[in-house]
Structure 1
């Protein structure tokens, strides 16, 4: 109450100072009056507690003189609004219903002061000042200025711009203000508007609801039109912010619809819409803005657009005309919650002007309504009105229910339902305040407020915590910003076959629901104004499929991009992926690049043609060795077999068979044991073979040397035991080399991913290159030594000399292995194994054919030469 006294005292002091000079000579007690008394159309009802209301019962006003050559007149209102008047009457009905309710505010009567803003800020502010500071009655400065506040709470207004201005004023007095139609999200700022509440969701909730619909139909390339006022500009900021945060799309264009009928601006905006590739246009604008826009849309014949309507024009009947429906049919819109108000129609039918008080300012709204409905005039005399009688004379006894008027159409109560909830919210808050028990109150020292001396700010505490359910089943409560729990209806403009229009409810957005997706949509019932009868596509760029990545286009919105295929070894398994992911080391991307598959494991396999060929060659060589071995065994007593130590010949055949068989260890999936065994078996088998050849060559030289005079002592160094010992000794050296190599740095299987990106080469790494080099070098040393000794014996007699065959075999052997080294080093993966197998087989076949081919030829085809006489015959020396 102290704050109330101080505010009134400040006003009194200000008014006194302003008028001091003109009242200097006044006598008696100092007195002052309000600087101006506002003449406003309205309706009043007395009661213990008064609630205020501001409604737009007229469409527009005529401005007063702006040159101030005389005292300015009040604005003149024109164009009566049945909808605005019905909203005002809904508040009157709610107050009347509460007064008849024995459970809500028992023994307390509510009254109201309802004013017409005419859709004009000047009128709206005048009404707010009248309700907060009184109606202009004089008061004495030397009195206490104590009294009840003119109103305890205000219901209104319908415009965000006007509500911002009004709330800024009434917040100074902490008068609760509950709006039924102002949606600007800026009003949720409690620091600027501490006493503001609303029963309509803010634009922030409306934007979120709109975005859910856009996501449902995957519309990402959007055009946005907004009205050029607080409502539209705040929505634009909120929409852009939420759109960016959600990542659900981007704007092709954003345009503000002009307040005035600027043809050039409208032509430019519609031209942008026509050129744009966006198929979805979202309009947060008033019905009046849309009317101007649609005239230009029709003129330029801009079809093929999917319109999204804000709550400001979703249910606008003025746009549902045959000329606009080819363009607007199929519109999806967000509408505020529709409700049922039982008894309202009967209450409206009881409206009747009081013929005894027609001149009373309080009755002007009812009088205007009656004249607009029945097209008559209230006149106190039969005198002419502006020179002639305008229509018929009103009697006040006309029957309202027999008239077809928009006023009585209660099938779509949306703002009226919000008015109804706003009045009940104030009533419930007042009821809770009066139920306070002293000692447990919310005010200083747990005190309670009382009806006598009740201050508006005391009601704010209870209004913030109000929570009730309407008869329609909707819960009403306010969050910390004064916003109501958001519920929206989703509307669809249907163009019926008979040419009529129906705006049908096809869904709901209810943020009270315990669901991640608060949108409930009956998609099968939606009318689409397209040939396909399906939702349109509205994207700047088609979604990038799996296997590609999204690359933004420089200087264009984020919804415009190119789809770049993932590189080899990378994949993306989601649409619109911003980057490709590298496959794990042992995996590779498939041709579509949408997933990774295991890399091909490559090794020299028995199942592939190359492996089959080498295996066949190896087994053929082994078989050939067995055949030769059988031939030699069968003819072991013949001179050809017995000549030059048949034991060494059999040992060479056995070692060659081992050489052929060891090549099989290089084929197949490398294992640890095969990697270790293959090189050791190869090295020992060849050393055994070459050492036998070396000893055989040495024996040949010793025999011919012994046949010469004085050379008989040579043979004692090449007896059977010496030959065997030499072979064993030379072979043991290789065994020691292999053992040392395997123990120090053993060959192991290795998955090589460096040769090929999409393959894994399973190979045996040698472990120690030095060990492998020593193994090959030792074989090469023996082979070269055998070749040199055989070369020295080239001039021996032909019939008895096989040194030339040893020379040729060693020549083939050395040539193969000399060619092997560079080929092995430069061959990747399994081909390195194939090269080594080929070298083993080639050298083994070379030795087998060169050493045993001529002998088998004699044994099988020239048995007459297989005699001692033939072998001991003199041959012609080779010069």
Structure 2
């Protein structure tokens, strides 16, 4: 029996029912240590879970200056940072009775100047009391305190009145042991040893729950009766109860196992069979149900399967304190049930506000903005900058903006993607209507001039300028004005093909007609010389052949274009912000440049020949008018290139339509308007004598 008692005494020194040093959780260094209290590692995790729940990302830490607290604070700091938070400051406070004034001033300055609304006070009861004696932390305005000190009774410390701050305290899980409160009420305190700790415990417990002798003793010693000494859970009684039962179950397991077969309760057994490390084997595997039907065991670190309660401490104006359990953290519970908090039960500040305070270095970035950090500041301290065009942030405090899909764009607030506006040059908009009216007007004007030429086809001025070429040119100009309408409207497969192909072929007819007229004029003047062989070339057959050859060559180029890579509709999402431009992709750019280059070649030949023939002697020299028309034509298309390249979207199409209309109008005006002027307004000049003043008129 003495050996059993020796073993029990040994293990009673190894089982602790109070908060333990976190450094002793190392089982390699302390393999025989056990606790019936939760581990401080779990305490750090519980605090981090609480911070994360309320989104408190900017906190300060006050801790005691011992090695255990330093290790815990480092673990706490790393956990806060891993969960997106930052620590504004970490201040340590010693336990010594005399604190240097500079240290007090520094800590007080950090607390008062801190922008963090949440301060973690990490330390035991003695540390908390020592801190409170030097710095009245509860009077610092607009602070939330998260404490880890085990403060069992209100009379343990004295707080100033009018405290407006509030505290969330992590305390060890406590339960009411049946019949224990009855024992406290009925026990005679005089039977216990008289020392200061026991005496203080009874003093703190003085209330109507205590026996008459205790209350009488309190009054005799002039101790103040405090209503909140009537606590539901009496000190560390629950932890001590679990420690005793754990040791008893381990001993029972050892006795019932093979290790206890040699036990003799008469004292005849050998002492070496019951050394403490034999009981240690059974302590590791202790698993029992206590009187409250709770399953309890030690984990691999010797920590007990118990969690923490989160207490809301409210200090009333009359100096009393209310303690309300508002949450729990039990790391041994099932996933999703290990942390619970009742926000509605928490009294915030003066008790008026029901909204948890915010503790952030920077206010939340609302949707539409993103966080931007700098290397000089903690990553919790950031500035909010708007998302760029085409990007959104649909949630608060986003680190990066999300790019919208190609067919969508960011709205004005940059918090949602909306479909892009589909745009093209339509007939309904003012620009499309204006171009349509202009095109229709010049087409009508071409028809009118063609009618005039047909009506006065027998007059000398119409006959002198090659009637067939004039008809072909007028019809081609009329079609050019009409082909500009193909560029307006929703681009489709057929529409895109017809745009450039029709434009290229009809323009080739117009330019080849001008070239044929210019060549005819030159030949006509040269044929006036005696015995000139050029007279055989003055016929409509030659000029028509020139037009046909130039036309067929352009048709061949267009056929090659269509067979290799024809134009097609293209959804352009990049040219204009927030819009989808439906335009025609030219397909093969080589074929496109060949078709356009061929038109430029015809125009160049025409202007060169017309320029050389501009000074031929004649009262009405058509070469001069052709020269002017080609100068206008080339000027329009030369200025078109930079203008076209500098515009975007539907305005590029409008520029091309304007170039078509302007160049065709130049040909129409410079070549045919002077003739119409003579035919309609100066009929006296429309005679053979006027036209053959210097040369003989060739027959059409």
Match of 1:291 in 2: 129
Match of 1:248 in 2: 85
Does residue 5 of structure 2 align to residue 150 of structure 1? yes
Q: CA deviation at 1:827?
A: 5.3
Does residue 318 of structure 2 align to residue 481 of structure 1? no
Match of 2:207 in 1: none
Does residue 343 of structure 2 align to residue 520 of structure 1? no
Contact 1:706 1:715 (C-alpha < 8 Å) held by counterparts: yes
Q: CA deviation at 1:844?
A: 0.9
Which of 327, 331, 356 is 1:511 aligned to? 331
Could you list the per-position Cα deviations for residues 703-741 of structure 1 after superposition, in whole angstroms to 9, with x for gaps in the alignment? 666677656x75543444444333212211222233345
How far apart, in 2, do the equivalents of 1:564 and 1:371 lie?
A: 63
Match of 2:118 in 1: 280
Could you list the per-position Cα deviations for residues 146-191 of structure 1 after superposition, in whole angstroms to 9, with x for gaps in the alignment? x61433345xxxxxxxxxxxxxxx6xxx888321112332222111
Could you list the per-position Cα deviations for residues 598-641 of structure 1 after superposition, in whole angstroms to 9, with x for gaps in the alignment? 67766655555444433332232223223333444555566665
TM-score, scaled to structure 2: 0.82
Match of 2:673 in 1: 853
Q: CA deviation at 1:482?
A: 1.4
Q: Secondary structure at the match of 2:380?
A: coil
Q: Which runs of 5+ in 2 are unaligned?
A: 204-210, 219-224, 266-272, 696-700
Q: Secondary structure at the match of 1:468?
A: strand
How far apart, in 1, do the equivalents of 2:248 and 2:326 lie?
A: 34
Q: CA deviation at 1:207?
A: 1.6
Q: CA deviation at 1:213?
A: 1.9
Which of 603, 610, 619 is 1:780 aligned to? 603
Does residue 446 of structure 2 align to residue 625 of structure 1? yes
How far apart, in 2, do the equivalents of 1:636 and 1:448 lie?
A: 140
Instruction: Map 1:590-629 to 2 at 5 A.
Output: 592-594=413-415, 604-606=425-427, 608-629=429-450
Q: CA deviation at 1:328?
A: 6.8
Deviates more, 1:806-815 or 1:195-204: 806-815
How far apart, in 1, do the equivalents of 2:674 and 2:681 lie?
A: 10
How far apart, in 1, do the equivalents of 2:196 and 2:656 lie?
A: 111
Contact 1:250 1:558 (C-alpha < 8 Å) held by counterparts: no
How far apart, in 1, do the equivalents of 2:116 and 2:407 lie?
A: 45
Match of 1:838 in 2: 658
Does residue 248 of structure 2 align to residue 427 of structure 1? yes
Could you list the per-position Cα deviations for residues 779-807 of structure 1 after superposition, in whole angstroms to 9, with x for gaps in the alignment? 224422552475254x2244xx6454434
How far apart, in 1, do the equivalents of 2:320 and 2:299 lie?
A: 41
Instruction: Map 1:423-502 to 2 at 5 A.
Output: 423-436=244-257, 450=263, 453-496=273-316, 500-502=320-322
Match of 2:145 in 1: 307
Instruction: Map 1:71-110 to 2 at 5 A.
Output: none
Instruction: Map 1:388-787 to 2 at 5 A.
Output: 399=213, 409=230, 411-436=232-257, 450=263, 453-496=273-316, 500-516=320-336, 518-530=338-350, 533=353, 534-566=355-387, 572-580=393-401, 592-594=413-415, 604-606=425-427, 608-633=429-454, 641=462, 644-668=465-489, 673-700=494-521, 710=531, 714-743=534-563, 762=583, 764-765=585-586, 767-768=589-590, 771-772=594-595, 774-784=597-607, 787=610
Q: How many residues align?
A: 669
How far apart, in 2, do the equivalents of 1:580 and 1:740 lie?
A: 47
Q: CA deviation at 1:298?
A: 3.7
Does residue 9 of structure 2 align to residue 186 of structure 1? no
Q: Secondary structure at the match of 2:89?
A: strand
Which of 42, 46, 50 is 1:205 aligned to? 42
Q: CA deviation at 1:767?
A: 0.8
Q: Secondary structure at the match of 2:6?
A: coil
How far apart, in 1, do the equivalents of 2:400 and 2:694 lie?
A: 82
How far apart, in 2, do the equivalents of 1:646 and 1:531 lie?
A: 102
Could you list the per-position Cα deviations for residues 265-297 of structure 1 after superposition, in whole angstroms to 9, with x for gaps in the alignment? 334322321222222221122333333322333
Could you list the per-position Cα deviations for residues 519-548 of structure 1 after superposition, in whole angstroms to 9, with x for gaps in the alignment? 322222222225862433322222344454
How far apart, in 2, do the equivalents of 1:877 and 1:258 lie?
A: 126
Which of 807, 812, 820 is 2:632 aligned to? 812
Match of 1:261 in 2: 98
RMSD value, Cα: 4.1
Instruction: Map 1:16-31 to 2 at 5 A.
Output: none
Could you list the per-position Cα deviations for residues 657-694 of structure 1 after superposition, in whole angstroms to 9, with x for gaps in the alignment? 22112323444555565554433322321221232233
CA 1:551–1:450: 2 relative to 1, 3 Å: farther
Deviates more, 1:192-201 or 1:671-680: 671-680
How far apart, in 2, do the equivalents of 1:449 and 1:873 lie?
A: 151
How far apart, in 2, do the equivalents of 1:729 and 1:305 lie?
A: 93
Q: CA deviation at 1:418?
A: 0.9
Structure having the higher Rg: 1
Q: Secondary structure at the match of 1:365?
A: coil
Q: Secondary structure at the match of 1:846?
A: helix
CA 1:597–1:370: 2 relative to 1, 3 Å: closer
Q: CA deviation at 1:200?
A: 1.0
Q: CA deviation at 1:448?
A: 6.2
Match of 1:83 in 2: none
Deviates more, 1:556-565 or 1:414-423: 556-565
Q: Secondary structure at the match of 2:347?
A: coil
Could you list the per-position Cα deviations for residues 365-402 of structure 1 after superposition, in whole angstroms to 9, with x for gaps in the alignment? 27989988999xxxxxxxxxxxxxxxxxxxxx985587
Q: Which runs of 5+ in 1 are unaligned?
A: 1-47, 49-146, 155-169, 355-362, 376-396
Q: Secondary structure at the match of 1:339?
A: coil
Which of 349, 365, 381 is 2:193 aligned to? 365
Q: CA deviation at 1:419?
A: 0.8
Q: CA deviation at 1:193?
A: 1.6
Deviates more, 1:740-749 or 1:256-265: 740-749
CA 1:665–1:274: 2 relative to 1, 3 Å: same
How far apart, in 2, do the equivalents of 1:374 and 1:216 lie?
A: 39
Q: Secondary structure at the match of 1:250?
A: strand
How far apart, in 1, do the equivalents of 2:469 and 2:137 lie?
A: 111
CA 1:204–1:747: 2 relative to 1, 3 Å: same
Q: Secondary structure at the match of 1:307?
A: strand
TM-score, scaled to structure 1: 0.66
Contact 2:64 2:122 (C-alpha < 8 Å) held by counterparts: yes
Contact 1:280 1:306 (C-alpha < 8 Å) held by counterparts: yes
